[in-house]
Structure 1
Amino acid sequence: MNESTMDCYTSKISVLLLLLLSAMVLHKGKCSTHSCNGKDQSALLIFKHHVIDPFNYFSSWSDEKHCCAWKGVWCSNVTGRVTTLDLSNQYLEGEINLSLLQIEFLTYLNLSCNRFSAISLRNSEYQSLAIPSNAYANFSSLKYLDLSFNEDLQLDNLQWLSHLSSLKCLNLSAINLQSQTNWLQTMAMLPFLLELRLSMCRLKNINPSVMFVNFTSLATLDLSQNNFYSDLPYWLFNVSSDISHIDLSSNGLRGQIPKALLNLRKLKSLRLDDNALTGPIPDWLGKHQHLQNLNLTENLFNGSFPSSLGNLSSLTQFGVSSDSLSGNLPNSIGQLFNLRSLYIGGSLSGVLSEKHFSKLFNLESLVLLSAFSFDLDPNWIPPFQLREIDLRNTILGPTFPEWLYTQRTLETLDVSSSGISSINADRFWVLLANVRSIRLSKNKISADLSNVTLNSEYIIMNNNNFTGGLPLVSTNVFYLDLSYNFLSGPISHLLCSKLGREMNALYYLDVSHNLLTGGIPDCGENCRALALLKINNNKLGDETPSSMDLLNEGIGMDLNNNNLSGNSLEISNFKSLEYLNLAENKFSGVVPSKIPKSIQGLILRGNEFSGNIPAELCSLPSLRLLDLSQNKLSGSIPSCILNNSLLDGAGTIEYHLEFSFELFLRGREVVFQGGWVLGMLDLSTNNLSGEIPPQLFNLTQLSALNLSRNHLVGKISSNIGGMTNLEWLDLSNNHLSGEIPSSISNLSFLSSFNLSYNHFTGEIPLGGQLQSFDSWSYVGNPELCGPPLLTKNCSEEVNHEEAQQDGSNDSLNESFYIGIGVGYVAGFCGFWHSLLLSRAWRRIYFQFLDNIIDWLYVFVALKLNKFCELRASSR
């Protein structure tokens, strides 16, 4: 269940009591003894007419049944009038017609979690049922309105809400309200409003200077995940004295928490996390005796952690983090006996003892992300049984703590980067067998996994010192990361072994950067669920089967940097493949022509593929990344490969798990995380010839282009200036000619640029990002001139005859200095012969030599350097 759906169900729970109360009086429409009211039915039909219903939800909305029997409609058993309409989460599209508000006794309206894109009063198709212009005056019965999570819906007018005078609960979360500057005044016109939820509405104005807003009844206010970027508003601390829940998280709020917060005496939940609040954490917060949920994480608080927060005995959830906090965690935190969830992060440090946990009897979740160390008795038994433990970046090691073995209800364990190097193998693997999610990454744990069976759903054990063969995995394992260890042996031990009759449920497997050997196993029947596979940077060496069936339903596969080989590679059976990396292997033959239509990223760099680039690449509609560099490809770049916006733009590999891949740009490795695929084309270091197709320069969304080290000829099209998203451009080591187009200065995002070793002529363009590149981007083009080539300017006053005269003078100068050199050598040899025959002359000479040797060295060095420069310029 995704987060949006969870929010939808959470909002429904808030009115559960209201519905239960209504159920005492109301019954479902089909049980009503009354026929549906004609006005109600007409209003519902007007609404239906504007709705797109892809899954035929409205099949029961027909004249054969009265409206109280329609799906999603509830009526009063006494009057037969429609009182409730709940169409949430039904994938409905189109318009929300406000004819629904003509239903006189409608008290509950929920259209959340659909795909509506507009709100309107259009009813021309039912002129006889038209809503009168004064109809809003009667809309006083609606108490609950939920339009949330219709993410394509933008409201430019909220005035119709002011007529809903009986409204108690309003939820417009995840609706676009960015054009609303007076939303606060509109909401204040609802006198009985108890609950207001406007999360993720793109609101920008929170009116921080307004002193008072007429929210006399408000109990819950959720304005989280908007774009306020201001101080906390004054009016917030003057709202209803009955307000109990405030959520202003993820808004960029700044400044300090004002003491006026004490005015809200009945406050039970306060969320100010993920903002930019500064100053110390107020010690007076300890006076809020009714607080149950206090979240201050991800802010810029400084100073120490106030011990007074230990007085908040009602707290059940508590979170604080800031990189500017200092000092220790006070012992008083151990007095919060009602606490169920504790989150402490940031730059706090110090030693935690048993006193910090002494009365946390009800604790279920413990997250400590600061550099704490622990001073606990080895036989200490905690007063709690935890479901979640997250102690990453603390100082737990070197031995896995004994007290963790006492936690029998664990579901999630994260002790990454905590300095653990040794474990009690007999107890350790037994503990982990019952934990659903495990993170042990970036420790130094040494253990042989050959005889271990892993049972958890989610396992991350990368960057350790695990040795031996790959472990067995049970059918529970969904995600497994064993990368950056010292595991050896074949991969078939993990993939092809069966535990019981059930198929392997493994979806994500990363065993990259190990010492695995052998080849790709042929046991695809046992790995039907496997979608993401990383075996890169191992020592695999066998010939790969021409038809790999290991990942028939796969999405991404990385076999980069092994010794795999094979001819006539067949990958067409990967029906859903979106990313394939076979770089740095020994595959040969021609580039595969039968490639799945779903492919977005194809990397075949550093193999032995030969022949032409296949024209079949032109028919790949989703391709965003193509790397065929460092092969033996010949022929020209096919122009069709650049048609239909191929390689143009960016996309995401369609799965919801992190999947990184490596590219080489300008000789360095660049790692992309999270499945983001940029528009990239790398055909460098091949034997390609001919001109660069002009269509290539029309790919305005391309981010990286590398055609270096080929035999390409011709000019650079002036259209290159339209490739404004280009970040990497390398056309070096070709035979390109002509002037560098001045439009290239429009490429304002360039971070890597190389046109060296071609035959470009004329003046180097100025302006834009080009100013940041030095002469190495242009070296090897003798006919180029201008900055940054400081040794050669482009003055138009120097004509051809003057250049020839300069050449003659340079020749004379060269002869002159050569003559000086020869004469100097001859005289020196004669003088040296005299020294050999006279001891006195030798003594005088060496004294003289000591005085002038430094001067002579500098003189000769300068002359020789001038000689080299003159000779180079005369060529």
Structure 2
Amino acid sequence: MEYLDPSSNYDSNKSKLPEHLGSFRSLRFLNLSYMNFDGEIPSEIGNLSKLEYLDLKVNSLQGPIPSQLGKLTCLRYLDLKGNYDLHGEIPYQIGNLSLLRYLDLGFTSLSKAIPFHVGNLPILHTLRLAGSFDLMVNDAKWLSSLSSLTNFGLDSMPNLGSSGHCHNLQELRLRGNNIDLLSPHYPNSPSLVVLDLAVNDLTSSIILGNFNFSSTIQELYLEECGFTDKSFLVPSTSIKKSSSSLVTLDLSSNLLKSLAIFHWISNFTTNLHALSLDHNLLEGPIPDGFGKVMNSLEVLTLSSNKLQGEIPASLGNICTLQELDISSNNLSGKIYSFIQNSLILSSLRRLDLSNNKLTGEIPKSIRLLYQLESLHLEKNYLEGDINELHLTNLSKLMELDLTDNSLSLKFATSWIPSFQMFRLGLGSCKLGPSFPSWLQTQSQLSFLDISDAEIDDFVPDWFWNKLQSISELNMSSNSLKEKVQPQKSANWICQIMEQLPDCWEHLSSLEYLDLSDNKLSGKLPQSLGTLVNLGALALRNNSLTGKLPFTLKNCTSLYMLDVGENLLSGNLGLCGEQLNKSCPGDETIAKPQGLAIDGEDDNSIFYGALYMSLGFGFFTGFWCLLGTILLWQPWRIAYMRFLNRLTDYILVTMEVNMGKCHRWLTVFDGEQYDLWAARMTTHLEALDLWEPIEEDYAVWPLPENPTVAQLKNHKESKTRKVKAKACLFSLVSKIIFTGIMNLNSAKDIWDYLKSEYQGSERTKGHVERICKSPEEEKVSMEQEEEKQLFVATCFATSNSSSDSWLIDSSCTNHMTNDQTLFKELDKTIVSKVKIGNGDFISAKGKGTVTIESLTGLKHIYDVLYVPDIDQNLLSVAQLVEKDFKVIFEGKWCLIKDAEGKNVFKVEIRTKSYALNLMEEEQIAFSSTCNNIELWHKRLGHFHLTGLLYMQKHALVKGVSLLEDKLFDCVACQYGKQIRLPFSQTTWRATQKL
């Protein structure tokens, strides 16, 4: 056998390279890459004397490189890249491979100096040692002897020498070497085509002075070089000649701010095919004329900057454009202004406009982008309907993400898409109320998000049969439920019995599953334990019962499990093997019986002697110590002092530790935010988790050939963001958690808590001389007081729509159509309100309403601004949520506080309960109230003891028998609050006081 290529057959069991591989002495071609082989490279491989091609890249090989490889004198191609556990030195026998043309030892753990024997390879044209951090180059003179070298890569080697001259290089990659280009140690090669100097500390004048860009250089990679406007934007007079050959320019991950970079690039070259300026600090609008000058661009990446304004129409006129990424900026306007003539952009394959502030509708002309493979429009302010016309002709579409917009997808039930999706994100888009039937045509999905899609339907049986390749599934915040279907699935034998389907063993690739906030019921199936790759499982707020399946212990990758708001926890019915309590229908869990000692075990004599010796030893040691303490007084006193000190130390330590736990791990329930935030900040800084919240850095995808440091940093950055988010989740109450559970990052969670709860506490009686904002404090105190007075005893009705508030049990939130009533209105909070006929109207803000009553201004909090309604509405559900009680009795509606006291009493008029604070006067409590409380209010909050004294001594007439029961009057407490201190000044009296 001369040819053997079983590559890319991944072995999850990590078998070793067979030693008998050396018996194939006639083998000339051997490719074992991407097979997950483990163990060392067998030395017997040196017996393959005729081998010309050896590829072992991207495995899990360990140990040193065997020196026997030097015996393969016919070898022309050797690739060991991506075996991170290969260690030791590069064997000098590599220099014996005189016919070697390709050598790649990158991304390994090889160490020490590169042997100069590598310079004995006269026809070597490719040498790559990228990502080997422990390798050193003591003397690079051997590079000069590699006369045929055309492709050279020595990434991440900071001690690289500078004396090697390679005049025939076509591709030079020196990433992360801290190289010095101030002197011409790297002479310009007339044939250089690719130059990669990324992750170095450079300036544009150094690069332009050392390399002739007007010759042959076509690709230039300068990302993460620390460029600033001052160090990079040299005057145009410093550019000797523009580059006519340069087609690829990468300036991403630098510190460029000025939009002059666009003019600089236009003067430097006009033939660019690919330009990357992402992850910079660019501010302002994109120059409108840039697309006219750079009319040959195929790839343009401007993501993660601070660009503003509209997308220039000139970008839509670049007929060669294939990829456009302007995501994560502050762009506004409408998409239609950019895609005015979709026929010009017929070559566009990837379009990413996500995470901006784009508005309006998605134009139907987008269907003319028939080459489109990826479309990302998530996290914008788009609205309107999407139907079949938008997606007609997009047969190559594989990625579509419209999450976090206000879009409605209206497809015919018989519609069959012409594409096959790999990634589909439709979160917060309206798909319901029926489950979208067109999803049954998408059998290749690996990511699906249909959360908060207003689906109120059964999950069809075909759905679970289409998810064999799914890795992330989010169906939360709907009204999904499972229907009874006794027959078996044709493929999976999956029975759905009003519970989660028991067919998860076929979803082995699933990594994320979110079915929270639905109507699922029944037990958790045992097959969930077969999801060995599952990292996050969220089933919160359903009606699941029973026990947690014991098979979940097999999910070793699981880092987040959320089954709250079910019937699984927090109740007396919790059962399962872990609690040693059987569930209904299970057999009684038997307690394990111990082994017999005497007469049933061969070692019973040995154990008997052992136990006897233990008893004798304990008796002797115990009485030797105790007898001495009892008989000798100094020892007895010293021992008692020791016990006292030990007890004090334990109690103090416990008290300190409990204090620390209460101090740092207090669960935030909406009160004292500033104190909680200060503690959390210090706590997160101590755990090194504050940076993900403060900076909200993005975890960007790894490059094609990542270094070990890049892999390590990528994993650490991702882990820290997840830990910070989990820490915030664990230290808030259940009610607050429901408001932050769908936020994407720890930064979003922190900002939400800050905007909702910061400044909610008001300090009364503060010292006037240290108050920096007395007017603001006065308003804050009035607002605090009005919030309490809002629950005063008054009721009213009115015919005025501005003053009248209907008490409505069908609405879920307070609403008004009068914008003038708002004292505070946040128009960034927009949502949809579903009305009786099934349609939706827009809520264009949320805030605090101020209304005038006979007793002063009142405040109603968390009110939606809905212009399309014709009546102000008070939500019964929201009142109940705030611990009020709403009772409908006869012709009256009674609203009581948490203590059962009457707050409002509203009479039914014209078949509705209308509350108006301007028509009715303040009323007294009902006759069931305490008489002393009633007379206390009638007499202007007269002193309670005085009332009892007047009754006892018959000082007044007409006062009914008062109950000798004192109470706390809230109005009196507020009236006696100290608002301002006495002036801290002294003066001398000039006359009798």
State the TM-score bracket (shorter-chain normalisation): 0.5 to 0.7
| Mapped pair 1:379 → 2:414 | yes
| Mapped pair 1:87 → 2:129 | yes
Partner of 2:268: 239
Partner of 2:453: 418
CA contact (8 A) 2:128 2:153 kept: yes
| Mapped pair 1:441 → 2:482 | no
| Mapped pair 1:169 → 2:194 | yes
Q: Aligned ranges for residues 262-301 of structure 1 at < 5 Å?
A: 262-299=292-329, 300-301=331-332
Q: Aligned ranges for residues 806-817 of structure 1 at < 5 Å?
A: none
Change (3 A) 1:677 1:511: same
Secondary structure at the aligned position of 2:455 is classed as: coil
Secondary structure at the aligned position of 2:461 is classed as: helix
Whole-angstrom distance in 1 between the partners of 2:227 and 2:299: 22
Q: Which of 352, 362, 382 is 1:329 aligned to?
A: 362
CA contact (8 A) 1:302 1:322 kept: no
Change (3 A) 1:248 1:768: farther
Partner of 1:344: 377
CA contact (8 A) 1:450 1:469 kept: no
Change (3 A) 1:489 1:427: closer
| Mapped pair 1:355 → 2:389 | yes
Whole-angstrom distance in 1 between the partners of 2:470 and 2:555: 23
CA contact (8 A) 2:99 2:121 kept: no
The percentage of counterpart residues that share the same residue type is 22
TM-aligned CA deviation for residue 193 of structure 1: 1.9
| Mapped pair 1:224 → 2:252 | yes
Whole-angstrom distance in 2 between the partners of 1:79 and 1:259: 52
- Structure 1, unpaired ranges of 5+: 2-8, 10-25, 37-52, 122-130, 457-465, 551-610, 631-644, 679-702, 704-726, 729-749, 757-762, 777-817, 837-860
TM-aligned CA deviation for residue 139 of structure 1: 4.1
Partner of 1:785: none
Which stretch of structure 1 is more off in the superposition, 233-242 or 539-548? 539-548
Q: What letter matches 1:250 in structure 2? A: H
Alignment deviations for residues 511-564 of structure 1 (CA, whole Å, 9 cap, x no partner): 3444555566655764455454344454435699999699xxxxxxxxxxxxxx
Partner of 2:929: none
Whole-angstrom distance in 1 between the partners of 2:227 and 2:141: 27
Whole-angstrom distance in 2 between the partners of 1:398 and 1:672: 23
Secondary structure at the aligned position of 1:233 is classed as: helix
Change (3 A) 1:309 1:162: farther
Whole-angstrom distance in 2 between the partners of 1:95 and 1:78: 16
Whole-angstrom distance in 1 between the partners of 2:453 and 2:271: 45
Whole-angstrom distance in 1 between the partners of 2:732 and 2:243: 57
Which stretch of structure 1 is more off in the superposition, 398-407 or 180-189? 180-189
CA contact (8 A) 1:72 1:87 kept: yes
TM-aligned CA deviation for residue 109 of structure 1: 1.6
Q: What letter matches 1:441 in structure 2? A: S
Q: What letter matches 2:399 in structure 1? A: S
CA contact (8 A) 1:453 1:474 kept: no
Whole-angstrom distance in 1 between the partners of 2:741 and 2:688: 13
Change (3 A) 1:486 1:773: farther
Q: What letter matches 1:58 in structure 2? A: E
Q: Which of 309, 312, 324 is 2:345 aligned to?
A: 312
TM-aligned CA deviation for residue 393 of structure 1: 3.0
Whole-angstrom distance in 2 between the partners of 1:867 and 1:291: 70
Q: Which of 392, 407, 411 is 2:442 aligned to?
A: 407
Change (3 A) 1:364 1:753: closer
TM-aligned CA deviation for residue 196 of structure 1: 1.1
Whole-angstrom distance in 2 between the partners of 1:865 and 1:35: 96
Which stretch of structure 1 is more off in the superposition, 73-82 or 230-239? 73-82
Whole-angstrom distance in 2 between the partners of 1:433 and 1:287: 41
Change (3 A) 1:452 1:278: farther
TM-aligned CA deviation for residue 248 of structure 1: 1.3
Partner of 1:125: none
| Mapped pair 1:390 → 2:417 | no
| Mapped pair 1:192 → 2:216 | yes
Q: Aligned ranges for residues 820-859 of structure 1 at < 5 Å?
A: none
Higher relative contact order (CA 8 A, sep 6+): 2
| Mapped pair 1:302 → 2:368 | no
Partner of 2:987: none
Whole-angstrom distance in 2 between the partners of 1:32 and 1:359: 55
Whole-angstrom distance in 2 between the partners of 1:438 and 1:264: 41
Whole-angstrom distance in 2 between the partners of 1:60 and 1:187: 35
CA contact (8 A) 2:122 2:145 kept: no
Whole-angstrom distance in 2 between the partners of 1:615 and 1:291: 67
Whole-angstrom distance in 1 between the partners of 2:490 and 2:248: 43
TM-aligned CA deviation for residue 89 of structure 1: 4.1
| Mapped pair 1:650 → 2:677 | no
CA contact (8 A) 1:75 1:83 kept: no
Q: Aligned ranges for residues 528-567 of structure 1 at < 5 Å?
A: 528=556, 530-539=558-567, 540=569, 541=571
Whole-angstrom distance in 2 between the partners of 1:512 and 1:866: 44
Which stretch of structure 1 is more off in the superposition, 180-189 or 373-382? 180-189
Q: What letter matches 1:172 in structure 2? A: L
Change (3 A) 1:81 1:230: same
Alignment deviations for residues 124-155 of structure 1 (CA, whole Å, 9 cap, x no partner): xxxxxxx8xxx57x44323222233x5xx555
| Mapped pair 1:110 → 2:153 | yes
CA contact (8 A) 1:237 1:261 kept: no
Backbone CA RMSD of aligned residues: 6.1
Q: What letter matches 1:84 in structure 2? A: T
Whole-angstrom distance in 1 between the partners of 2:138 and 2:486: 61
Which stretch of structure 1 is more off in the superposition, 394-403 or 510-519? 510-519
Change (3 A) 1:415 1:161: farther
Partner of 1:600: none
Partner of 2:726: 660
Q: Which of 68, 91, 98 is 1:60 aligned to?
A: 91
CA contact (8 A) 1:480 1:508 kept: yes
Change (3 A) 1:870 1:139: closer
Alignment deviations for residues 87-146 of structure 1 (CA, whole Å, 9 cap, x no partner): 23445456786556544523222234x5x4x2354xxxxxxxxx8xxx57x443232222
Q: Which of 159, 173, 195 is 1:119 aligned to?
A: 159
Whole-angstrom distance in 2 between the partners of 1:320 and 1:169: 30
Whole-angstrom distance in 1 between the partners of 2:979 and 2:333: 62
Q: What letter matches 1:348 in structure 2? A: L
Secondary structure at the aligned position of 2:220 is classed as: strand
CA contact (8 A) 2:401 2:425 kept: yes
TM-aligned CA deviation for residue 56 of structure 1: 2.3
Q: What letter matches 2:461 in structure 1? A: D
TM-aligned CA deviation for residue 218 of structure 1: 0.8
CA contact (8 A) 2:73 2:96 kept: no
Q: What letter matches 2:252 in structure 1? A: S
Change (3 A) 1:378 1:530: closer
Whole-angstrom distance in 2 between the partners of 1:215 and 1:399: 58
Change (3 A) 1:545 1:424: closer
- TM-score, normalised to structure 1's length? 0.52
Change (3 A) 1:182 1:312: same
Change (3 A) 1:443 1:287: same
TM-aligned CA deviation for residue 163 of structure 1: 2.4
Q: What letter matches 2:345 in structure 1? A: L
| Mapped pair 1:140 → 2:178 | no
Q: Aligned ranges for residues 715-754 of structure 1 at < 5 Å?
A: none
Whole-angstrom distance in 2 between the partners of 1:262 and 1:311: 13
Alignment deviations for residues 699-751 of structure 1 (CA, whole Å, 9 cap, x no partner): xxxx9xxxxxxxxxxxxxxxxxxxxxxx99xxxxxxxxxxxxxxxxxxxxx98
| Mapped pair 1:481 → 2:514 | yes
Change (3 A) 1:666 1:63: closer
Change (3 A) 1:410 1:248: same
